[in-house]
Structure 1
Amino acid sequence: MATILLAEDDDAMRLFLYRALKRAGHSVTAVGDGSTALRHVKTRPYDLLLSDVVMPGLDGVELARRAADLRPAMKIMFITGFAAVALNPANGAPVDAPVVSKPFHLKDLVTTIEGLLAA
């Protein structure tokens, strides 16, 4: 299927998403912060960056902006509990990046990812 880079600072959520995406047939690299994710983007192409928006240090919006500059063909998707506040187009967030708000159903997340990758 797809190669996915998952950036999520919450350990339990990261493990949950990692396992679910692997079960869905994807190759997943899971990291706990934006800086580590950016290092991965620099060294390996991914089909999708799935990032939490609010993370300490390099947040998901800045990670997505920098990742899009490095890998324009990579799809970007956000997961967050703060979408309305954090994803203001004025802060440089990719306007075409889908956002799945926490809490979400795993089926909905996988369906959104598969639709994005198929586009």
Structure 2
Amino acid sequence: MARILLTEDDNSMRHFLARSLEMAGHEVLAFGDGEDALPALDASPFDILITDVVMPRLGGFELAKRAQKILPGLPVIYITGFAAVATEADVNIGEITQLLSKPFHLNSLVDAVDRALLAREAS
């Protein structure tokens, strides 16, 4: 089981992803924007950050940079509907970074979480 911080600005997608990850046995704290998620990073540790790339106020790349200053080595899984934007940006911020392009199958997200946990344990 992982403690996951999820940020996704689309309400229905956020609720669907959070519920699906919870059904896979993970604890999920979900926010609609990176700015709203920042206080949670200070309050308690997380095992994985799953974040949308494009969000209002504070996007996924900047959130990941700030999160990894607070929690060094935090695995990041980016989710985006704008794959071209993500591939042009520097998404290799941390040691364990993955990118999923929307739409993606839920199994792909669960597999990405499993890979991130295994890689973190191995490091």
**2:47, 2:34 → 1: CA distance?**
17
Aligned match of 1:42 = 42
Stretches of structure 1 that go unaligned for 5 or more consecutive residues are: none
Percent of residue pairs identical: 50
Post-superposition offset of 1:50: 0.3
Number of residue pairs the alignment of both structures matches: 117
Aligned match of 1:19 = 19
Aligned match of 1:106 = 106
**1:26, 1:56 → 2: CA distance?**
26
Q: Which string of whole-angstrom CA distances, capped at 9 and with x for unpartnered residues, describes residues 14-64 of structure 1?
A: 000011000000000011110111111111100001000000001110000
Stretches of structure 2 that go unaligned for 5 or more consecutive residues are: none
1:94 matched to 2:93: yes
Cα RMSD for the two superposed structures? 1.4
SS at match of 1:99: strand
**2:110, 2:8 → 1: CA distance?**
16
Aligned match of 1:61 = 61
**Conserved? CA contact 2:41–2:70, under 8 Å:** yes
**Conserved? CA contact 2:75–2:116, under 8 Å:** yes
Q: Which contiguous aligned blocks of 4+ residues in structure 1 show a shift greater than 3 angstroms?
A: none
Q: Which string of whole-angstrom CA distances, capped at 9 and with x for unpartnered residues, describes residues 53-84 of structure 1?
A: 00000111000011111110321110001132
Question: Structure 2 counterpart of 1:28, which letter?
Answer: V
SS at match of 1:56: coil
Query: Structure 1 length normalisation: TM-score?
Result: 0.92
Aligned match of 2:30 = 30
